[in-house]
Amino acid sequence: MYRNILVPTDGSAPARKAIRRGVQLAREQKARIIGFYAGPQWQLPVYGEFVPPEVYSPKAHAAAVKKTATRYLGEVKKAASAAGVRCKCSYTMGDYPYAEILKAARRNRCDLIVIASHGRRGIARLLLGSETSKVLAHSTIPVLVVR
Amino acid sequence: MFRNILVPTDGSALSRKAIRGAVQLAREQKARVTALYVAAPYNPRISDETSVVHFVSPQAYAETARITARWYLQAIEKAASAAGVPCDSVHAFNDLPFEEIIRTARRRKCDLIYMASHGRRGISRLLLGSETSKVLAHSKVPVIVCR
């Protein structure tokens, strides 16, 4: 039924749980895992009139995001290969992670998104994470919310 | 991975879509389906007590709810039997449908809740239905939100 399962991660513990679930489901459904990480966009660090002397360059930022993506997506790759599931990973930079997640789902023709109920920013267990609720609000494909 | 999939219905077009998805997943996962319909409990308005014309007796109300439940639950039972998936039906009364959904999931040991993004009351496609978001906030088991 499911062919391509998108698993977005932010490297948090709840996201790792979603990875486990997604990989398990992919194995049973003979589906492919699409690991995805959306890093923040580079920003000019200006605080009012003050410009810090050491500006973090866009290049350095891109390198840092790449490093983070490699680490987070490595977890997805490892889990998938351990389960014998085909896996493809990608990352982008964007101000709105939910929009990047939905774009990645469209690009890879995913038919399911497996996402944690909250990631790094979720404080209360009773509240749904902000990106997760935005993905749920805008997605046109089914979303599996893992707690 | 999933053994018992809870499918709450309110009889809306979108919940019919969720039924199709849930039954298909249940067949592939060799899982069973637990169908649930939650009706509002008997609650006559004060004004109804004085009005002979609009008064509904508790018995008549229960009978109407039972017929509605049968009608909605049969749709799931039919879809399940067509796919060769075992199916249980639960009909309950509760003012708070999400509470009943969570309780039934616990009691019946369901390991997945499969529901539509919004049911009869969802106005906008961009907003998540109220019961769905409450289920997402309180559920301990994974939830697939179908759009």
Q: Which two tokens stand for residue A74?
A: 């490595």
Measure the CA–CA gap between B132 and B138, rounded to whole angstroms: 10
Task: Give the model's confidence band at B128: pLDDT under 50 very low, under 70 low, under 90 confident, else very high.
Answer: low
B126 pLDDT exceeds 80? no
pLDDT given for residue B49 in this prediction: 57
Phi-psi region of B34 (alpha: psi -120 to 50; beta: other; left: phi over 0): beta
* pTM to 2 decimal places: 0.87
Question: H helices within chain B, ranges in order?
Answer: 13-29, 46-50, 58-83, 97-107, 130-138
Strand order in the sheet with A4-8: A87-93, A32-39, A4-8, A112-116, A143-146, B143-146, B112-116, B4-8, B32-39, B87-93
In chain B, what residues touch A139 (CB-CB under 8 Å)?
A: 147
B5 pLDDT exceeds 90? yes
- Correct CATH for B4-146 of 3.40.50.620, 1.10.3720.10, 3.40.630.30, 3.90.180.10: 3.40.50.620
Measure the CA–CA gap between B6 and B11, rounded to whole angstroms: 15
Name the residue with tokens 């990645």: A104
Q: Which residue of A has its CA nearest to B125?
A: A137
Beta bridge pairs of residue A7:
A35
B142 pLDDT exceeds 80? yes
What is the pLDDT averaged over residues A30-41? Answer: 95
B90 pLDDT exceeds 90? yes
B123 pLDDT exceeds 60? no
B136 pLDDT exceeds 70? yes
CATH of the domain at A82: 3.40.50.620
Higher pLDDT, A121 or A34: A34
The total domain count for chain A is 1
Higher pLDDT, A47 or B1: B1
- Domain segments of chain B as ranges: 4-146
A:102-141 residues touching chain B, CB 8 A cutoff? 112, 117, 126-128, 133, 136-141
In chain A, what residues touch B28 (CB-CB under 8 Å)?
A: 1, 28-29
Residue pair B69/B40 in contact (Cβ under 8 Å)? The answer is no
B54 pLDDT exceeds 80? no
pLDDT given for residue B50 in this prediction: 60
Measure the CA–CA gap between A92 and A77, rounded to whole angstroms: 17
Give percent of chain B with pLDDT exceeding 70.
Answer: 86
A36 pLDDT exceeds 60? yes
Task: Give the model's confidence band at B14: pLDDT under 50 very low, under 70 low, under 90 confident, else very high.
Answer: confident
Domain hosting A56: range is 4-146
- CB pairs A-B closer than 8 Å: 55
In chain B, what residues touch A115 (CB-CB under 8 Å)?
A: none
Measure the CA–CA gap between A5 and A143, rounded to whole angstroms: 10
Report the number of secondary-structure helices (H) and strands (E) in chain A. Answer: 4, 5
Task: Measure in Å the smallest separation between the Cα of A68 and chain B Cα atoms.
Answer: 27
B19 pLDDT exceeds 90? yes
What pLDDT, in 10s, does the model give residues A50-98? 767 677 788 999 999 999 999 999 999 999 999 999 999 999 999 899 9
